[in-house]
Structure 1
């Protein structure tokens, strides 16, 4: 049976790239399991691995295939070989888990990102800022999906808190128990469009997808009642085609989200606008006269918590692309001005202790 790749989100750009590649077939990555992948081509689904040459020439982990990627492959009876990943139209990436400053692609070629957060103890405005910073940078459109509305007794207060950070973003409130809000979720996943689900463990991503699929295809687990921590239901990334024609990518829950790339200008558009009104172009928004940001904090139109979150993410983003030594130097520069000044502070501290 021949598969129509349009049903998997194929557009004119990727179709043209597939036609010009001689001897190679066009495929979309539907699952990722460490170094093994599952792909779909016009001939159906099969496992795949990357070519040796591809692995040798690409040292950056973000260059390797990810769920949602379109790739050029050779087909065989047992396993396909991926030779090239086509240029991505959007890419959602985070910092890889561990000490090494490396990126990890969560999903590629998505049109919309559902940032899922439950309306219980998981609700966290500062974490939402992180997700939005990552999402805006991806070139896809973020949508905030607030789940478990039936467990929330202070919805107006939570929506008011979220309004400070959700500028320009649709917010959907839904409940698996009552079915409220699911019509709005469905409307965001039209035929041919790809939507990636991200969020912490246990917030209801798999439950949402099962409802969209019209059947249970993903395991679901709830947030534990004793500590409000989520348990992983999804353990790998996968792409699914809905009966309505939309395409969804399910991703494992992220308890900690370290930014690899991000768009602070979009997430903190209010602060970016205020910064243009400061007296000095290089204003640090700390103690300079005529600082519009500090004036907004003093007047109450900008909260201290939001500004501190902006500063924290700004420092984190400044480390992007630096190795361990460079990151440590950047930290020293931020704290002490330079390594020599740090040594001077240390000497002064030792001298003070010796006098005691």
Structure 2
């Protein structure tokens, strides 16, 4: 790559780390130029390449080898591409291993992962200071955030609608020790200075949260431009309407990269055991002092967790959410294991069928 190419790609986060990752990959792709996925649609992508924005799709070989949805490119991914001559189009040959990624289970009964965003440095968990404020929902997002590998930051938006925003900030700090919590108001232009340490050149930040919490408004505020369309919320329940319909990565004027994602009514967790333990580290620590190793934290004798609830040290609703998410993850694991067994059996049957050689019936016929 020449210096101009380096400058263009480095603006979107390409650095020595990614050079080292590329050096470990198949030599067949090392000669290809890198690009970053900046938007994802149903069957296509928008990339930032060394020569500017390109539309793109994956190769047939890539599609054939992709075993699951999560193998496909996601917004924030670095991909190795073949740029078509004299066109603003590219073909994606490979996705470089993700440094971080936020993953959720797809909606419905399908046991499959969905990548919300990849290679983020920070994850802004956004919750509004109105009727939709929900500490249990923030706990779920923290589980996914810790599992992602990115650093979580909680933003309490619409502070202009709340008389005591510090009270809510304290609630979040109690369930997320060490996680930065900021309350902001785009309407009153308050709190932006608190976010400046995160908004550095080449740093990628994903914004996530429910519909109507102010994600698109936050993006426009930080970008100082109408980057995303904004819609209001329903007055009767403060629930939002979907504004963002796809995932997209935006370059701010100060060089930071912001990833906007569609609002989620419910965040369904995916393979988040480590994130779950981190999000509920206080309960896990209490559980170490329980009399029995397999303590269920119900009415077990010598249970330190129940004792903490009785003394007021632990919120019983937090314990209930701890148990609920534990059951959810265990159920998901069982279903995923059963699904993998089905896929394995199907693959084995298919392989056996292909290796079957039809007998030559002439070999069984006597000669004249």
- 1:230 aligns to 2:221 (yes or no): no
2:10 equivalent among 6, 16, 19: 6
Rounded to whole Å, the distance in 1 between the matches of 2:260 and 2:32 is: 28
2:211 equivalent among 169, 177, 201: 201
Instruction: Tell me the TM-score normalized by structure 2.
Output: 0.85
The 3-state SS of whatever aligns with 2:175 is: coil
Aligned counterpart, 1:97: 107
Aligned counterpart, 1:111: 121
Instruction: Tell me the TM-score normalized by structure 1.
Output: 0.88
CA offset at residue 167 of structure 1?
A: 1.2
The 3-state SS of whatever aligns with 2:11 is: helix
Consecutive unaligned residues in structure 2, runs of 5 or more: 340-368
1:295 equivalent among 302, 307, 316: 307
Q: How does 1:77-226 map to 2 (within 5 A)?
A: 77=87, 79-226=89-236
2:264 equivalent among 254, 258, 264: 254
**C-alpha offsets along residues 249-301 of structure 1, whole Å, 9 cap, x if unaligned?**
01011111111132111111110110111112222212322111011111111
CA offset at residue 23 of structure 1?
A: 4.0
Aligned counterpart, 1:314: 326
CA offset at residue 78 of structure 1?
A: 5.2
- 1:31 aligns to 2:43 (yes or no): no
Does structure 1 retain, via aligned residues, the 8 Å contact 2:173–2:179? Answer: no
User: Which is further off, 52-61 or 221-230?
Assistant: 221-230
Aligned counterpart, 2:59: 51
Note closer, same or farther for the CA distance 1:206–1:58 as it changes in structure 2 (3 Å cut): same
Rounded to whole Å, the distance in 2 between the matches of 1:125 and 1:285 is: 21
The 3-state SS of whatever aligns with 2:80 is: strand
Rounded to whole Å, the distance in 2 between the matches of 1:120 and 1:312 is: 25
CA offset at residue 104 of structure 1?
A: 0.5
Structure of larger gyration radius: 2
Does structure 2 retain, via aligned residues, the 8 Å contact 1:18–1:72? Answer: no
Rounded to whole Å, the distance in 1 between the matches of 2:96 and 2:158 is: 38
**C-alpha offsets along residues 128-147 of structure 1, whole Å, 9 cap, x if unaligned?**
00000000000000000000
CA offset at residue 324 of structure 1?
A: 7.7
The 3-state SS of whatever aligns with 2:103 is: strand
Aligned residues: 327
Q: CA RMSD in A?
A: 1.8
Rounded to whole Å, the distance in 1 between the matches of 2:180 and 2:337 is: 41
Aligned counterpart, 2:77: 69
Does structure 1 retain, via aligned residues, the 8 Å contact 2:38–2:249? Answer: yes
User: Which is further off, 22-31 or 265-274?
Assistant: 22-31
